[in-house]
């Protein structure tokens, strides 16, 4: 513990001293990882809750065991960005501004203090990387090979995007809200992470400009000082280090909106090339569950064991979670427990009483109020997005 604290304060010191880009480097410098030797077994920054997928820019997923907690703590929350965080001095409170412009009546430049004048609201919502589970798609899709942990459940606090947009006066011709953060690629030839959401989602009362995560100011890796929260939607919409909101008639231009984060409107044969006109943006989450305990590879004793996990969906509500211990031939309902909030995940439990020793597989699948159920294997798509195949964990039941 003291080791962790020291490592963190050393990093924070370096970060203040040298700026964000170098701080991102320092992660690699201070940890035992080398650019070559990174393995997912190693723990970044002495943090046992995260599995590093990419050392620089830093991408890491949460160990599934951590999801035994309803709220995923900030320092255990998965981290994903295309270019890493901007230097802290660029988002310091005295220099940071949110620009709101485009098809608006009164273009505005807002400070954090200006934002604080709007009504403060909080909601708990799942944040999930669009590529969570990409490693399970076959054939393999290029991109970060996320397994099960590029997801988390946090309480987000901020102001309604709708309130800010109403304040500037959105013109009727505005159909999309373009979003840009302060992060920048190494090469000026690399496209910016320019994204947009349709005006309906922007004006939804639950869409937030968040300044806080689990009661703390947004940490730098999670988008300080401001990130968009689109509850029920995948993380590709939740732009971090937000500085620019532009109202416009069209979707954002450029690679990250026009090419990336899209999937076929209709299912395709795995491995097929899909014409761009048949691709639509990744938006709402699909229904999904995770088995949190027992963990994969656990050795269990004969006798009752509590299987537990979490389940969530997009804009609906999880209504059932089922468990199978016979490779999907029969399913039994798990009990939904704990907090029941829109957009958050739901915890569940199931008592299993294995009567024979041996290797066993536990399967879990969730169903939502719109009739969506997890398939055995998720529909393949070229970008490897939206994996929601039935979750599975292999365990060994011992006789004694």
Partner 1 sequence: MIPLMQRWRHKRPAVIGLVTVLVFVGIPLVKALADDRTGGNTGQESSPSVSDEQDSKRLMMARCAVCHSTDLIVQQRLTLSQWVKTLNKMERWGAQVSSAEQTQLANYLAARYHPGASGSLEQTAQDSLEAPITEPAIHPGMPEHPEGRPDHGQRLFGQNCVPCHGPAAAGGMGPKLANNPILTDERRFWATVRQGRGAMPAWSAMLNAQEIADIQAWLKTLE
Residues at the contact surface with partner 1, assessed by CB under 8 A: 21-22, 24-26, 28-29, 35-41, 52-57, 59, 135, 139-140, 142, 144-145, 185-191
Q: How far is CA 252 from the centre of its chain?
A: 21
Q: Do the strands 108-110 and 98-102 form a parallel or antiparallel pair, or are they unpaired?
A: antiparallel
Closer residue to partner 1 in complex, CB, 26/50: 26
Smallest gap, in angstroms, from Cβ of residue 97 to partner 1?
23
CB of 46 to partner 1, least distance (A): 17
What six digits make up the tokens of 34? 């080398």
Between 17 and 332, CB nearer to partner 1: 17
Neighbours of 46 (CB within 10 A): 16
Plot region of 133 (φ>0 → left; ψ -120 to 50 → alpha; else → beta): left
Residue 9 host element (H or E): helix 2-18
Q: Identify which of residues 122 and 259 has a Cβ nearer to partner 1 in the complex.
A: 259
C-beta of 333: minimal distance to partner 1 in Å? 33
The packing angle between helices 20-30 and 2-18, to 10°, is 150
Name which of 87 and 354 has its Cβ closer to partner 1.
87
Closer residue to partner 1 in complex, CB, 144/302: 144
> Which residue matches tokens 């620019």?
244
| Closest distance of CB 63 from partner 1, Å | 14
DSSP reduced 3-state for 12: helix
Q: What is the DSSP letter of 277?
A: G
Q: 335-337 and 332-333 as β-strands: parallel, antiparallel, unpaired?
A: unpaired
For residues 319 and 273, give the distance between their C-alpha atoms in angstroms, rounded to a whole number.
Answer: 36
Q: Which of 28, 73 has the CB closer to partner 1? A: 28
- Least distance (Å) between residue 25 CB and partner 1: 4
Structural contact between residues 225 and 217, judged by C-beta atoms closer than 8 angstroms? yes
Beta 305-312 vs 176-181: how paired, if at all? Answer: unpaired
Place of tokens 């939502």: 368
Minimum distance from CB of 385 to partner 1 (Å)? 16
Q: Which is nearer to partner 1, 36 or 359 (CB)?
A: 36
Taking the C-alpha atoms of residue 129 and residue 142, their distance in angstroms, rounded to an integer, is: 15
- Residue nearer to partner 1 on the CB measure, 165 or 220: 220
- Phi, psi (degrees; rounded to nearest 5) at 44: -70, 140
What distance in Å separates the CA atoms of residue 201 and residue 213, rounded to the nearest whole number?
21
User: Min. distance of Cβ 21 from partner 1 in angstroms?
Assistant: 5
Q: Whole-number minimum distance, CB 34 to partner 1, in Å? A: 8
| Cβ-proximal residues to 114 (8 Å cutoff; 6+ apart), any chain | none
Q: How far is the CB of 358 from partner 1 (least distance, A)?
A: 24
By C-beta, is 149 or 314 nearer to partner 1?
149
The values of phi and psi at residue 333, to 5°, are: -70, 135
Residue among 98 and 257 whose Cβ is closer to partner 1? 257
Q: Are 168 and 161 a contacting pair, CB within 8 Å?
A: no
Min separation Cβ 183 and partner 1, Å: 12
Task: Report residue 177 as tokens.
Answer: 């809200």
Establish whether the linkage from the previous residue to 225 is cis, with ω within 30° of 0: yes
């Amino acid at each position: 513990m003291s080791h962790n604290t020291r490592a963190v304060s050393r990093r924070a010191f370096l970060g203040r001293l040298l700026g964000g880009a170098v701080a991102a480097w320092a992660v690699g410098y201070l940890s035992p990882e080398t650019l070559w030797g990174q393995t997912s077994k190693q723990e970044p920054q002495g943090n046992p809750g995260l599995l590093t997928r990419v050392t620089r820019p830093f991408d890491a997923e949460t160990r599934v065991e951590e999801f035994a907690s309803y709220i995923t703590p900030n320092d255990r929350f998965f981290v994903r960005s295309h270019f890493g965080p901007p230097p802290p001095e660029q988002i310091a409170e005295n220099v940071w501004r949110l620009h709101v412009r485009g098809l608006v009546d009164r273009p505005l430049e807002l400070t954090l203090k200006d934002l604080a004048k709007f009504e403060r609201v909080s909601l708990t919502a799942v944040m999930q990387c669009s590529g969570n589970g990409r490693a399970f798609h076959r054939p393999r899709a290029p991109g970060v090979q996320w397994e099960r942990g590029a997801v988390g459940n946090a309480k987000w606090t901020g102001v309604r995007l709708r309130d800010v947009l109403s304040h500037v006066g959105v013109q009727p011709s505005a159909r999309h809200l373009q979003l840009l953060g302060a992060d920048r690629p190494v090469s000026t030839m690399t496209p910016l992470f320019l994204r947009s959401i349709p005006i309906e989602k922007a004006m939804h009362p639950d869409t937030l400009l968040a300044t806080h995560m689990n009661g703390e100011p947004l940490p730098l890796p999670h988008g300080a000082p401001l990130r968009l929260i689109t509850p029920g939607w995948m993380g590709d919409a939740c732009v971090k280090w937000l500085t620019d909101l532009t109202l416009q008639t069209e979707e954002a231009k450029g690679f990250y909106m026009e090419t990336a984060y899209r999937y076929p409107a209709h299912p395709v044969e795995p491995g097929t090339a899909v014409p761009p006109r048949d691709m639509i943006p990744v938006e709402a989450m699909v229904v999904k569950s995770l088995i949190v305990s027992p963990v994969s590879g656990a050795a269990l004793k004969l006798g009752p064991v509590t299987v537990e996990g979490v389940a969530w969906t997009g804009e609906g509500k999880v209504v059932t979670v089922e468990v199978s211990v016979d490779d999907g031939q029969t399913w039994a309902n798990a009990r939904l427990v704990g907090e029941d909030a829109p957009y958050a995940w739901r915890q569940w439990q199931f008592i299993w009483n294995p009567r024979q020793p041996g290797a066993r597989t536990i399967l879990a699948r969730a169903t939502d109020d719109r009739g969506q159920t997890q398939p055995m294997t998720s529909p393949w798509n070229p970008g490897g997005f939206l994996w929601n195949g039935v979750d599975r964990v292999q365990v060994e039941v011992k006789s004694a």
